Amino acid sequence: MIKVKPSKILTLLLIHQKNQILLAMKKRGFGMGKYNGFGGKVERNGESIYQAAIRETQEEGCITPTDAQLIGYIKMDFDCEKETLKVHIFKATQFEGEVQETEEMKPQWFDVNNIPYKTMWIDDQYWVPYLLDNKYFYGYLLFEGHDKLIKVDIKETTQQ
Ligand code: 6OG
């Protein structure tokens, strides 16, 4: 019998300005110790995925992206987790406010030629290049534990 896992709808937002990308060191929770974009769970109160992406960026980085667009979608399964993650990835180039450290994240700008992939989720190297290139992408990942990928299927797409 095929077992379908329950799923969690998540957002992830990265700011890319010219040759710089804004990442943040996660200080607690899932992905602690890794650089990532801003994001988290969509709230159950009727919040849209887009609204959640903006809210999470406000909460974690103290900024409001003003031109965020959905650029990718990745479904992630882990042999060790009960839930499938459905991660909606947004890109923005403009924002209001001043980037600040919060209880959850320590933000830092990186040159796009010096992205700290070794201190990021292992999947990021497969899709961040699409994001930097303004290419829409979607795909599926299967993890063994949290740091090993046993299936990677990420493709560029022309449709959002
Ligand atoms: P909270 O549990 O903190 O939201 N996330 C991932 N990001 C990357 N780059 N790779 C992954 O591969 C990820 N899995 C989850 C989605 C978790 C945040 O972490 C992101 C959310 O922004 C496994 O609320």
Average pLDDT over residues 140-158: 95
pLDDT class of 4 with cuts at 50, 70, 90: confident
Span 90-117, pLDDT tens digits:
999 999 999 999 999 999 999 999 999 9
- Within 10 angstroms of residue 101's Cβ, the number of other Cβ atoms is 15
Distance 74 CA to ligand 1 centre (A): 11
pLDDT at 2 exceeding the cut of 90: no
Cβ–Cβ under 8 Å, residues 82 and 52:
no
**Global confidence as pTM:** 0.96
Residue nearest to atom 12 of ligand 1 (CA): 121
Q: Is the pLDDT of residue 159 over 70?
A: no
Q: What is the CA radius of gyration of the chain?
A: 15
CA of 52 to the centre of ligand 1 (A): 13
Given a contact cutoff of 8 angstroms between Cβ atoms, the answer to whether 118 and 33 are in contact is no
**Contact between residue 20 and residue 93 where contact means Cβ atoms under 8 Å apart:** no
For residue 122, give the nearest of 158, 152, 87 by alpha carbon: 152
